[in-house]
Copies of this chain bind each other. A is one copy, B any other.
């Protein structure tokens, strides 16, 4: 089980963004330099964040990106969903009655994995961007 860098970068970039967007839009170039993430890769990520209305873009010189919501209303769940970082612990299709082995009933560990998935998602549901900024400000002092 590992986190992909797409998800990791998305959160990283948004925390960076949230810390600077009070006055001006923040350019991807700046985020790229500060966080050490490839500019081209950031563009892919922000394209998705924009489609999911987590950020707004402002074009032209002095342009950049701005948060589209209150940091408190942006949960990790939303960010991960936007960049297709999904938690997948079961093998079978959830909607179906069939199991992962192709048999007619769910396998003997299905419930376990389901519990695990809920356990992980709970973490993401409860963490907002606001929490992360706060936490980061504290450690900056």
Contact = CB atoms under 8 A, between A and B. Distances in A.
Given A36-B102, A116-B123, A135 B111 contact: yes
10 contacts: A1-B7, A1-B85, A2-B87, A3-B89, A3-B113, A5-B91, A36-B102, A111-B135, A116-B120, A119-B119
Nearest to A127: B112
A60 to B, nearest CB: 28
A132 B112 contact: yes
Interface of A: 1-5, 7-8, 11-12, 15-16, 35-37, 85-89, 91, 100-103, 107-109, 111-113, 115-116, 119-120, 123, 127, 132, 135-136, 139
A16 to B, nearest CB: 7
B36 A109 contact: no
